[in-house]
Chain A
């Protein structure tokens, strides 16, 4: 169980958080303009890489804020934590 440094609350146990999957997938502004394939790309396609991954996390049993996290899925090392809307760091 890892320790996550919530950008609003500080270090807390992982059990207080829930993972919301891949980060930086923006909901299309004009969904009706998209083809089935393009919409499916947004709706279903997610990366699941072994290595450095950008993820959304929610401090569900804390401040309830969403934020982004860069985690290496092979060893759970957390490289960065940053607020929603902030630029992703270069890892």
Chain B
């Protein structure tokens, strides 16, 4: 055993030695230790440097509230993790931890100079200093701030661990496995309610499990022994799930809670065996019982941050739970009785201890116990200073004045190697407030306690402000019974004896003889906010607690102010002379303790991040070297490079082939909606801008769909398959939204229409063959079919058979070329495609991708919804007046086309642009101006589509320009970073304005 491991306990197995490294040096601890208890057993207190002043800092607590002992784990590996609290991580063989925020080393840290210049860097220093000169910002201030910003190092490699999500439902969820949580869980589970008990530590029992003081007796047993028996009975209950190493992250409305379970964080690397690291539980509970406990408060006095200054109850836990003494010459500094339990515990182990108490006396049993043992108590005294740079060596105390606002008399110096501090207790009301609960301020002991309003959750135990064992047990029993509608249970006749505190005193900021500006009384230890920073903020006019918090950064560190928020509030209230209860609190936001990104995303990483949709022809595209583009969730062939062609070269070749001979496009991704019902024609009349009643069976028609605000929403060709049967196509990206929108209108505005919509996008695969030779290819594929213009004209459809497979052939054109679309059931898509490629071989049929499709459409001035439109374009703006029916009484968006705004003549309108230099290709998105010299520059439009057309042998572009309809022939400019490009407004149809090619 090491010098500081002075006690054997049942919680740490001292037969099992575990080795670990801290800052590269090897140490030993035992199974059951945390990193913090193992370090302390080796006499190590100094574990980190503070964020701003780089002051040496030691372990201060034993739980999630720890502000100082935050480490980098597994440095320089893909498993590295910053800001891990040493007080929470369980020791395992081979654990590698290192300190943060120090350079070159923890013992000698250059940043420590900040401590010396601290008078010059008070709160708000950044806001005040880095304002001027303005030119310094980019090259000096920002790099400097970035260099010193952040705690720890982010991983640079992908996280190799597996994380999981799971849903769970229960009747009762109990948060916290301390004594009140155990009583609650037992009452619930014994009464046939499906109960889950979660506890963030690896064993149940909270702080009672190591409470072996004779002043705390339940049913004639010491409270820890009684609780031990309760736990072993609890573990036998059938309808209770106990989850240890599981911490509550968030408590949302409707009792929806997130809890993170650590599954393999406590195992050595070689024993994890690829198991899941953490699991995020998504729990829906009928009733929630919060038994989250309380956190001990520090005391705020000059130099209260030295290594060796530890919360009193944590000192007790290290001693009675881990068997580790945090010092051999202890002083306890307190304002309440609970720290006396620590004193008695230390004394009983033969360790020297003295007590400094700001109260004048206390008449409780536990204090009498300490006095009887002969422990020296300095009443009515306060610590005014501490000494020792990397570890506390001594303190100075003085007497308090009558009202506690000053210190009087002589300074008295006392040697020590550990100072245990206790400023009372703060109920953990985080869960309660996260769920929407409100708080009341309780004057007598200066705590915020939950006000019970909810029918679906209660708070019990010390998180509800019940600090004394007797009231805690009785109140928990009564509250839980009432909450769960239970009449009797085994805790009704329980007898509890405990020490009771009657003298209470609290001073938020302890007085000193030296002026405040020369003291460092830390409130937020991690962010280095001191009492004088808070007062400075108040002097500078910040009044709201939320503003003071942000100005001083109090409570904004990774511990989220678990130790600091109450003192900040208290000092604000005292300074401003207002009642603390009237200030409110800052907002408690989830997560309660930081969550790993891995736990948040679970399995949704890599290829599971989002669905990938592939057409049935996808494999062929891959084999033929296609480059893909994401269109919504679809993977669409973008272009098919041959022999190291780049995008431009491939697209030029594909576009030329499609116009000169034949091209083939996989159009399977277009949205397809099957529309049936006796009112199908009327329905189309209402949703499209053009008329549909007279469309013959077997005919196709292009339709434009607007939003109710008159803006173009989607387009596509719809085919009339039968009297009451249509097949609508939509854009690839718009398919799901169009279906939703149509369903919305059908269900809510026009429930009288007899129409049924079914998405059939995935049901059919589509090969679209275009070009002057497409008809010949179709004739080869379907030798028995007549493809003459008379029997199979443009915009019509026919059924056909290929290889015994039924298919639909639509003669419709995406590109302005003679063109056919063949639709088959998806499972035959690839075979159809291969047939088309084989039949087209003699015509050098060329597969083309989305880029070529866009180019071909741009040549013809066919808009692409989403590229040439952006939700602010009406059909009139797009010069598509021809498709807007004047005769129809109504359709979606019609009325909006006559609003004063949509009728403005200076709206952005679709035009063509030609560059002076035919080889100059404009950038899509580039802004367009009419006057170069005008200041400020007036941007009158932007380029929406731009290509080099191999068929016209020049650059073409579509653009939207204010008042563009009347600007044909006008010269405009496209200013780029290095030059201005001269352009001329042209017709937006660049090729085949007479539509001859469609019947070529």
CB within 8 Å for A43 and B709 given contacts A31-B894, A75-B436, A76-B253:
yes
Residues of chain B contacted by A40 (CB below 8 angstroms) = 899
A31 to B896, CA, bound (A): 9
Complex contact A58–B744 (CB within 8 A): yes
Known contacts being A31-B894, A39-B896, A39-B899, is A85 close to B253, with CB within 8 Å? no
Segment of B179-187, B441-449, B745-753 engaged in the interface with chain A: B745-753
Contact bitstring B729-767, A, C-beta under 8 A = 1, else 0:
000000000001001100111010000000000000000
Cβ of A31: which chain B residues have Cβ within 8 Å of it? Answer: 890, 894-895
Contact between chains at A1 and B256 (CB < 8 Å)? yes
- Interface: B485 (CB within 8 A): no
A55-73 contact mask (Cβ, 8 Å, vs B): 1 or 0? 0101010001110000000
Given A3-B284, A36-B900, CB of A84 within 8 Å of CB of B744: no
In the complex, the chain B residue whose C-beta lies closest to that of A76 is: B253
* A1-B709 in contact given A31-B890, A85-B751 (Cβ < 8 Å): no
User: Which residues of chain A are near B895, meaning CB under 8 Å?
Assistant: 28, 31-32, 34, 39
A42–B744 Cα gap in the complex (Å)? Answer: 16
CB distance from A40 to the nearest CB of B (A): 8
**Shortest distance from the beta carbon of B314 to any chain A beta carbon, whole Å:** 36
> Closest CB of chain B to A37's CB: distance in Å?
10
CB–CB B896/A65 < 8 A: no
Interface size of B as a range: 20 to 34
Instruction: Judge if A87 is at the interface, Cβ distance under 8 Å.
Output: no
Residues of B within 8 A of A64 (CB): 743
Asked if B896 and A43 make an inter-chain contact with CB atoms under 8 angstroms apart, the answer reads yes
Cβ of B618 within 8 Å of any chain A Cβ, yes or no, is: no
Instruction: Kindly state whether residue A20 has any CB partner on chain B within 8 Å.
Output: yes
Cβ of B417 < 8 Å from any Cβ of A? no
A75 to B744, CA, bound (A): 27
Q: How far is the CA of A84 from the CA of B899 in the complex (A)?
A: 30
| Bound-complex Cα distance A82 to B432 (A) | 32
Given contacts A31-B895, A32-B895, A43-B708, A56 and B748 within 8 Å (CB-CB): yes
Residues from chain B with a CB closer than 8 A to the CB of A34 are: 895
A28's nearest neighbour on chain B, judged by CB, is B895
Give the docked Cα–Cα distance between A80 and B504 (Å).
50
Decide if A27 is an interface residue (CB 8 Å cutoff).
yes
CA distance A52 to B898 in the complex (A): 35
Asked whether A1 and B254 contact (CB < 8 A) given A34-B895, A39-B896, the answer is yes
Which residues from B are CB-within-8-Å of A26?
749
Q: Is the CB of A36 within 8 A of B899?
A: yes
A26 to B745, CA, bound (A): 11
Range of interface residues on chain A?
20 to 34
Shortest CB–CB separation between residue B686 and chain A, in angstroms? 10
Cβ–Cβ < 8 Å partners of A66 in chain B: 743-744, 747-748
Nearest Cβ in chain A — how far from B748, in angstroms? 5
B889 at the interface (CB under 8 A from A): yes
A31 to B436, CA, bound (A): 44
Q: Does B252 contact A (CB under 8 A)?
A: yes
A65 neighbours in B (Cβ, 8 Å) = 747
Q: Is the CB of A32 within 8 A of B748?
A: no
Which of A13, A27, A36, A58 contacts B749 (CB under 8 A)? A27
Bound Cα distance A31, B254 (Å): 42
CB distance from B891 to the nearest CB of A (A): 10
CA distance A62 to B366 in the complex (A): 62
Task: Report yes or no: A3 in contact with B254, Cβ–Cβ below 8 A.
Answer: yes
**Which A residues lie within 8 Å of B748 (CB)?**
56, 66, 84
| Interchain CB contact (< 8 A) of B747 among A39, A76, A84 | A84
User: Which residues between 539 and 562 of chain B lie within 8 Å of chain A, taking CB atoms?
Assistant: none
Contacts of B252 in A (CB 8 A): 1
Could you say which residues of chain A place their CB within 8 Å of the CB of B436? 75
Which chain A residue lies CB-closest to B708? A43
Cα A67 to Cα B899 with chains together (Å): 31
- A32-B889, A34-B895 as given contacts; A2 in contact with B253, CB under 8 Å: yes
Separation of A41 and B436 alpha carbons in the complex (Å): 35
- List B contacts of A32 (CB < 8 A): 889-890, 894-895, 898
Give complex CA distance A85, B895 in Å: 25
Contact with B along A3-40 (1 / 0, CB 8 A): 10000000001000000100000111011101010011
Nearest chain A CB to B882 CB, angstrom units: 21
The CA-CA distance from A75 to B252 in the complex, in Å, is: 11
B708 → A minimal CB distance (Å): 6
User: What's the least CB distance linking A77 to chain B, in Å?
Assistant: 9
| Distance to closest chain B CB from A46 (angstroms) | 13
Closest to A83 in B: B747
Contact check, B254 vs A2: say whether CB atoms are below 8 A apart.
yes
Indicate if the CB atoms of B740 and A58 lie closer than 8 Å.
yes
Min C-beta distance of A9 to chain B, whole Å: 15
Q: Once bound together, how far apart are the Cα atoms of A54 and B616, in whole Å?
A: 45
Q: In whole angstroms, what is the CA distance A75 to B438 when docked?
A: 13
Complex alpha-carbon distance, A64 and B743, angstroms: 8
Contact B284 A84 (CB under 8 A): no
* Chain A: CB-nearest residue to B167: A13
- Chain A residue with the shortest CB-CB distance to B750: A27
The interface residues of chain B lying within 8 Å CB-to-CB of A20 are: 744
Among B254, B740, B890, B898, the one with the most A-chain Cβ atoms within 10 Å of its Cβ is B254
B42 nearest CB across to chain A (Å): 46
* Bound Cα distance A56, B748 (Å): 10
List, in ascending order, chain A residues with CB within 8 A of B709's CB. Answer: 43
Q: Which of B881-920 contact A (CB under 8 A)?
A: 889-890, 894-896, 898-900
- Taken residue by residue from 278 to 291, chain B's Cβ proximity to chain A (1 for < 8 Å, 0 otherwise) reads as 00000010000000
Decide yes or no: A84 and B751 within 8 Å by CB, A1-B256, A2-B254, A32-B890 being known contacts. yes
Considering only CB atoms, which chain A residue lies closest to B743 in the complex?
A64
Contacts of A36 in B (CB 8 A): 899-900
- Nearest-neighbour CB distance to chain A for B756, whole angstroms, equals 12
When chains A and B are docked, how far (Å) is the Cα of A30 from the Cα of B748?
A: 17
- The answer for the CA separation of A75 and B899 in the assembled complex, in Å, is 39
Chain A min CB distance to B338 (Å): 37
What are the interface flags for B238-269 relative to A under an 8 Å C-beta threshold, 1 for contact and 0 otherwise? Answer: 00000000000000111010000000000000
Residues of A within 8 Å of B254, CB to CB, are 1-3, 76
Q: Most chain-B CB neighbours within 10 Å: which of A26, A43, A76, A85?
A: A43
Residues of chain B with a CB closer than 8 A to A13's CB: 256, 284
User: How close is B282's CB to chain A, nearest CB, in angstroms?
Assistant: 9
Residues of B within 8 A of A84 (CB): 747-748, 751
CA distance A36 to B901 in the complex (A): 10
Considering the chains assembled together, what is the distance between the CA atoms of A56 and B894 in angstroms?
Answer: 24
Task: Tell me if B740 and A60 are in contact (CB < 8 A).
Answer: yes
By a CB distance below 8 angstroms, the chain A residues around B890 are 30-32
> For residue B899, which residue of chain A has the nearest CB?
A36
Q: Chain B's nearest CB lies how many Å from the CB of A34?
A: 7
A28 to B890, CA, bound (A): 10
Chain A residue at minimal CB-CB distance from B453: A75
For B747, what are the chain A residues with a Cβ–Cβ distance below 8 Å?
Answer: 65-66, 84
Instruction: Write out the residue numbers on chain A whose beta carbons fall within 8 Å of the beta carbon of B899.
Output: 36, 39-40
- Bound together, the chains give a CA A13 to CA B900 distance in angstroms of 43
Q: Which residue of B lies closest to A66 (CB)?
A: B747
Cα–Cα distance between A74 and B79 once the two chains are bound (Å): 43
Rounded to whole angstroms, the CA-CA distance of A30 and B889 in the bound complex is 8
Q: Which of B284, B708, B748 neighbours the largest number of chain A CB atoms within 10 Å of its CB?
A: B748
Provide the bound-state CA to CA distance between A20 and B252, in Å: 23
- Which residues in window 662-709 of B have CB below 8 A to A? 708-709
Q: Besides A2-B256, A66-B743, 16 other CB < 8 A contacts?
A: A1-B256, A2-B254, A3-B254, A30-B890, A32-B889, A32-B890, A32-B894, A32-B898, A39-B895, A43-B709, A43-B896, A58-B740, A58-B744, A75-B436, A84-B747, A84-B748
> Mind listing 8 A-B residue pairs with CB under 8 Å?
A2-B253, A13-B284, A27-B708, A31-B894, A43-B709, A43-B896, A64-B743, A66-B748
Residues of A near any B CB (own CB < 8 A):
1-3, 13, 20, 26-28, 30-32, 34, 36, 39-40, 43, 56, 58, 60, 64-66, 75-76, 84-85
The 4 closest A-B CB pairs, nearest first, are A31-B895, A2-B254, A66-B747, A1-B256
